[in-house]
Structures are given as C-alpha cells and as structure tokens.
C-alpha cells in the first residue's frame, strides 16, 4: 500500500510540474470575467501567447490570442489548413479604427500579398470572434472547429503597422518570418 501511495504521489507531482512548465510565461494572464483557459503557450516571437481550451466532444478550441502592441498597429492569429506558412492561412486580424474601436477581420490569406477581404473562413467559427485592446496588448477571442477534426494544426501569427486605421503590410524579415508553428491543441 505504501508503494502504491508513493507511485500516486510521484505521478501527481510530475503532472503538476508538467503543467507549470507548460504555462511558464503565460500562466499568469488574466481575462475578463467568465473567460478562462486550460492551456497556454508563450509563442517564440512577436511578444505573443495563445491560451485555449480544447473541447474533444465537438472538436473545437475556445481561444485567446494575446500580443503586446502599440494601438497604432494590428495583430493576427490563424490556422493554415493546407500547409505551413502564411499563404493559405485563415486568420483573425485585430486592429483599432480611427475612433479607437477594436474590430476583428476574418480573412483567408490566398497569397503572400493578400487582399484583406472580410470573408468566411474554411473552418467553422461557431461564435463570432471579438477583440480588445488593453494594457498595451491586443487580445483576440475566438472559437474554432479544428480543421479535419485534428488537434494537430499549423498556426501562424503576425503583427504590423496601421495608417489611418488601414492595415499595412508587416515587415518581411526577422521575427515576422518566424511566426509559425505546428500546435497540438490536445497536449500543447
């Protein structure tokens, strides 16, 4: 019996250590009342993090993408269901208009020089996305049906300048070219 208790205690400690390590850097994030997420990753570039809860029963992920940014800039996060990289990505773009109101544009990046038309994405978005700008960061909230009902997804994120409320191209060097990764929404 004592050996069994030691094994159980060790498993609990290892599990807690894994959860703490996974949330290092993003686990202290707070969200408006009623919003919380089971997992998070501090993304490697552009001062961004992704927080999510995966719902296996219906193959959706409820998420918050947060990126530090000046208010005269835009940020974006998305999934590329057809491969790695920007072209083909289905993205949520948050920005502030001239009045200071934050909006979310949903678009498909059909090339590396895309037209940013507000369009329906190639996967279901069962709840309309929202965004906010507070404390020097944009946060995009969205619920997505993971393409192919797969927890493994190619994700992209980005940031760039605004001019008069218009979205301008992001830089094409350094961290802006490193902002992609495959993410497992089940394990992180």
Q: What is the pLDDT along the chain (188 residues), one digit of tens a residue?
A: 344 333 333 333 333 333 333 444 688 899 987 899 999 999 999 989 999 999 999 999 999 999 999 889 999 999 999 998 899 999 999 999 878 899 999 999 988 777 888 999 999 999 999 999 999 999 999 999 999 999 999 999 999 999 888 888 897 888 788 889 999 999 98
pLDDT for 25 equals 67
**Locate tokens 């993090």: which residue?**
49
pLDDT for 135 equals 92
φ/ψ (deg, to 5) at 16:
-65, -40
| DSSP code at position 9 | H
Q: Report pTM.
A: 0.84
CB 37 within 8 A of CB 51: yes
CB 108 within 8 A of CB 78: no
CB 147 within 8 A of CB 122: yes
pLDDT for 128 equals 95
Residue 40 CA to residue 56 CA, distance in Å, equals 17
| DSSP code at position 148 | G
């Amino acid at each position: 019996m004592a050996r069994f208790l030691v094994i159980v205690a060790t498993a609990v400690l290892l599990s807690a250590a894994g959860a703490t390590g996974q949330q290092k850097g993003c686990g202290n994030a707070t969200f408006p009342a009623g919003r919380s997420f089971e997992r998070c990753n501090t993304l490697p570039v552009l001062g961004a993090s992704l927080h999510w809860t995966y719902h296996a029963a219906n193959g959706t992920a409820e998420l918050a993408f947060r990126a530090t940014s000046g208010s005269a800039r835009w940020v974006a996060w998305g999934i590329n269901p057809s491969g790695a990289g920007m072209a083909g990505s289905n993205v949520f773009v948050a920005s502030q208009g001239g009045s200071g109101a934050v909006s979310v544009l949903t678009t498909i990046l059909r090339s590396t020089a895309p037209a940013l038309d507000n369009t329906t994405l190639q996967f279901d978005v069962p709840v309309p996305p929202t965004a906010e700008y507070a404390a020097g960061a944009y946060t995009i909230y969205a619920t997505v049906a993971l393409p192919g009902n797969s927890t493994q997804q190619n994700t992209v994120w980005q940031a760039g300048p605004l001019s008069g409320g218009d979205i301008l191209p992001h830089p094409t060097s350094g961290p802006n070219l490193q902002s992609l990764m495959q993410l497992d929404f089940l394990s992180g």
